[in-house]
Amino acid sequence: MGYSHAREVESLNRSLSEISKDIQVSFEFFPPNSPEMETTLWSSIERLAPLKPSFVSVTYGAGSGTRDRTHDVIKRIQKDTALIAAPHLTCIDAGKEELVQIAKDYWQSGVRHIVALRGDLPNSSEKPSMYASDLVELLRSVADFDISVAAYPEGHPEAPNPQFDLLNLKRKVESGANRAISQFFFDIESYLRFRDRCVTVGIDVEIIPGILPVTNYKMLERFAGLTNVHVPSWMPKMYEGLDDDETTRRLVGANIAMEQVKVLNKEGVKNFHFYTLNRAELSYAICHTLGIRPQ
């Protein structure tokens, strides 16, 4: 390591330690589908709750079974913890009247923050009747929700071009979204360029970066292929030979995520959204490094 590189690393660490009190985090979970997964989920929520995240979101899949599990998890978080629960809500397989009733039920249950998404199409050849911007508008008509939407620094997989995708995000913001949470990414420059492009088209809400600590590289490759996320050429080398070494994979994943956060923080980012995959360990360790610790 040259002296200039060493000074750069030292500067990043010092910068982070000096402003860590300004950093806010949020966490994403998914509804469990087995007793064992349910135990893991609630153990992770209990572990991360003392860090006082700005909110915790719970994903929402197609089909009534998954939706019911999302509702149950959200209501339990709302009832049994001091956390702000933010359910994902999609409009791909529900009519407007049903969505209005779901929104009213959430509001009556004390839920004030919703992550509004279109949702995955069951058949890619079908054209949806509603989009995320329509859902944001519907939620605004029901109550004064705090609404987050999705952003895609490297473009939505279905978008014909980056400008189309950017203008779609603008429609969501103009419909009433308060912030956007980005798809996970590893190319930091792609996020920073995207953030700049948002400003140029008049998107004035915060674009919170989504951080995915990677513990299973093969699973990441599948995720990335489905979501149009670029995996840098250096990443597979980091996980070489670790297929049967989960402990080292976790250390590598935590280190990559920490470096992302350090660089983004130096670029002025104060809020981070962690995709926990229902496991608390890595997110907790990264937050500790950021100076976010139990009160």
Q: How confident is the model at residue 93 (pLDDT cuts 50, 70, 90)?
A: confident
The pLDDT, as a whole number, for residue 235 is: 94
% pLDDT > 70, the chain: 89
Q: Does residue 208 have a pLDDT over 60?
A: yes
Residue 115 has, within 13 A of its CA and on its CB side, a CA count of 26
pLDDT digits (tens, 9 = 90+) for 139-190: 999 999 999 999 999 999 989 999 999 999 999 999 999 999 999 999 999 9
281 in active site: no
pTM: 0.91
Flag the least confident range among 58-67, 78-87, 234-243, 245-254: 58-67
| Alpha-carbon span 86 to 38, nearest angstrom | 18
Terminal alpha carbon distance of the chain: 37
CB of 279 closer than 8 Å to CB of 257: no
The single-letter code of the amino acid at 117 is L
pLDDT for 124 equals 59
Contact call for residues 285 and 251 (beta carbons, < 8 A): no
Q: List pLDDT tens digits, range 240-293.
A: 999 999 999 999 999 999 999 989 988 999 999 999 999 999 999 999 988 899
User: Is there a contact between 144 and 116 (Cβ–Cβ < 8 Å)?
Assistant: no
For residue 2, name the pLDDT band (cuts at 50, 70, 90): low
Q: Output the pLDDT for position 33.
A: 87
pLDDT at residue 122 is higher than 80: no
- Cβ neighbours of residue 33 under 8 Å, at least 6 residues apart? 69
* Per annotation, catalytic residue among 10, 28, 98, 259: 28
Q: Is-contact 159 251, C-beta < 8 A?
A: no
17-20 long-range Cβ contacts below 8 angstroms, 24+ apart:
17/291, 19/265, 20/290, 20/291, 20/292
pLDDT band of residue 60 (cuts 50, 70, 90) is confident
- Name the pLDDT band for 68 (thresholds 50, 70, 90): confident
Between 126 and 186, where is the model more confident? 186
* pLDDT, position 161: 93
pLDDT of residue 92: 84
More confident residue, 252 or 8: 252
Tokens (6 digits) for 141: 């008509």
Q: Exposed, middle or buried, 263 (CB in 10 Å: 0-12/13-18/19+)?
A: middle
Check residue 22 and give its pLDDT.
79
Cα–Cα distance between 66 and 142 in angstroms, integer? 23
Indicate the pLDDT class of residue 115, thresholds 50, 70 and 90: very high
Task: Please give the Cα distance from 251 to 184 (Å, whole number).
Answer: 19
Q: Per-residue pLDDT for 123 more than 60?
A: yes
Q: What does the pLDDT average to over 57-64?
A: 74
pLDDT of residue 289: 84
Q: Is residue 17 predicted with pLDDT exceeding 80?
A: no
As a whole number, the mean pLDDT across the chain is 90
